Amino acid sequence: MNSNHWHLLLDNYSIARATGFDRIVHHPRPLGVVLAPDKPWESAGVGMNYVGQRANGSFFGFYSAMWWDLDKGAAQPPSKVTGGHDRAHDIISSIAYATSEDGIHWHKPILGLLDGPAAIDRQKYAPFPTAAGLTRENNLGVPIVVVADLGQFGNVTDPQRRFALRLAPGAPGTPGAAGPVGVGSSWAHAPHGYFAAEIPDFLNDPNWREKLTYSGGNFDPRRHFLHFWDDMHGEWVAIEQGVIPHWLPTREVGRMASQDLVNWTSEAVLYPDAADPHLPWHYDESMSLTPFCAEGVIFGLLSWFHSDRSHPDGGPNLASTPEHPQIWPWVRKGSNEMRITISRDGGRTWDRTASREAWIPHGTEEDSYDRLVIGSLPPMRMGEEDWFYVTVIDGDHLGIRNNAAQTPYYHQRLPRHQVGLYVQKHNRYVSLSTRTQPEVLITNPVTVGGSVLQLNVDASRGVVRVGIAAAEPVMTYNGTTPSTAAHLYQGQMLPGFTFEDCQPVDVNSIEHTVRFTGVDGLAALQGRAVRLLIQVQHADVYGFRFT
């Protein structure tokens, strides 16, 4: 076990015994909608793609701006699946640019790069708002459609490959037809993928493209963009919804992998299982998963879908069967929440110890701004806090029925994509917690890799003490039988590192240094395999590390 990373308690990997503890999923604090669709070119909504921070502390963001254009959609052929018109072709999108001084209040500067809707006609195809007129007085036309920070979140150490980029097919100066693209057609487009040492300054640097390095492959947003480098298996990995083809009764999370960014393999790595509800009116399945590397593991921000299969969304050409009268993906009404999970094997398996309940719950009303919690960016570290920019929708999934009638699910409105902000203290996803009865948490063997032991702990209403025991087996049965039973180590703590030697911890801190009376740090234990014994009374322990 690597002891220099934080050992967070989302699963039992670091824990030998946790008798008497409750594992608590802690919810981040919602700050509400911070990026709202308030422009004519945002009538279908907005979704944040990337948020960065400049040296002066200000923020900038690239986001998807989506608008309805039913005149364009009417020219599309009928859906081969439903036999009717697919409203997905009525949504046009472009990447837009925004700035902020505090990460909460966002400004949309006029770039003058690309034509977009000048107004909204709410009568022509009511209740669908459709584009009317054109203007370049907008913030559209960002040529970078997707950004991944592989240096911070993707396990990449090469500074020239810190960022993975995909360029917008219709943006000025990039290959492809000029102008924005329809959502349906953009999914099929697989442009070149690039690496860069920094985010290109496309506004002020006319030579920004020269700073990009071709990756050797394509980054397709619906099959294999790029999320991290997997050291364990020597391959690039993307985590997406679905393994193509995916005519299954449920959604699933897929893992796409490649050694050369050209030849890819895929596998399904997270399905609903027997512990998930599967009643027709409450059928659980994954919607998407955003992975990011931190603390030696891969975290997964898992958007979890509660499907109401009593509202079918079929069409005349669906190959339904008596066993599956509503085949996925055409049963789509429901709500989304965000859950938290981790992988320790390069994203091939995902531990669901903490993902059986919501980390970010969805809104309780059908018009709650967060009725659907769809996807999140990796966290931005802001002092002692982690900030999560999350795409939310103010209505159930299946706002528009994808059948021949094409009637809105809601009579008077259409749900919109928006961006919400959620804040939690750093690394405080899950804790092991006790009440007034003191309990002892015992770890698996861990090597002391530093001179300081730190806890991420909230003992503001109680107390925590730490003891350290050697990891060697304890002799039992009159010295005839060595044993590694965790509870035996409570009587085997090392001199100077007992509960009595530990200065009581009664603080709320994301990195509290544990001190022992009469001992100057942990120098005497450097390189030694030990077990930690953490006595917890009315407190929450989120993790530990040596540093």
Owning domain of residue 423: 27-427
Domain-embedded: residue 1: no
Residue 373 CA to residue 118 CA, distance in Å, equals: 30
* Residue type, position 528, single letter: R
**What's the token pair of residue 187?**
């999914």
In a domain, 335, yes or no: yes
Same domain for 12 and 55? no
> Domain holding 122: CATH number?
2.115.10
Does 386 share its domain with 461?
no
Residues 15 and 37 in one domain: no
Predicted TM-score (pTM) of this structure:
0.92
Last residue of a domain, one of 427, 452, 483: 427
Same domain (yes/no): 456, 350 = no
User: How far apart (Å, rounded) are the C-alpha atoms in residues 381 and 387?
Assistant: 6
The last residue of a domain, from among 383, 402, 427 = 427
- Across the chain, which has 547 residues, the per-10-residue mean pLDDT values are 82 97 98 98 96 96 93 66 61 94 98 96 86 96 92 98 85 45 41 90 93 87 80 95 69 92 92 92 92 97 91 54 50 89 98 97 95 96 98 84 52 89 98 96 96 97 98 95 96 96 98 94 94 98 97
* 193 and 104, same domain (yes or no): yes
168's CB contacts (< 8 A; 6+ apart) are: 94, 95, 142, 143, 144, 145, 174, 181
Q: Can you give the pLDDT at residue 421?
A: 98
Do 20 and 49 fall into the same domain? no
* Domain count across the chain: 2
Domain boundary among 427, 456, 472: 427
> Does 345 lie in the same domain as 454?
no
Q: Residues 133-154: pLDDT tens digits?
A: 999 999 999 999 889 999 999 9
> What SS3 class is residue 129?
strand
Same domain, 171 and 31: yes
Same domain, 16 and 99: no
154 and 247 fall within a common domain? yes
Q: Is 380 inside a domain boundary? A: yes
Do 420 and 482 share a domain, yes or no?
no
**313 in the same domain as 177:** yes
- Output the CA–CA distances (angstroms, integers) from residue 81 to 38, 126, 138, 249, 519, in the order listed: 34, 25, 36, 16, 71
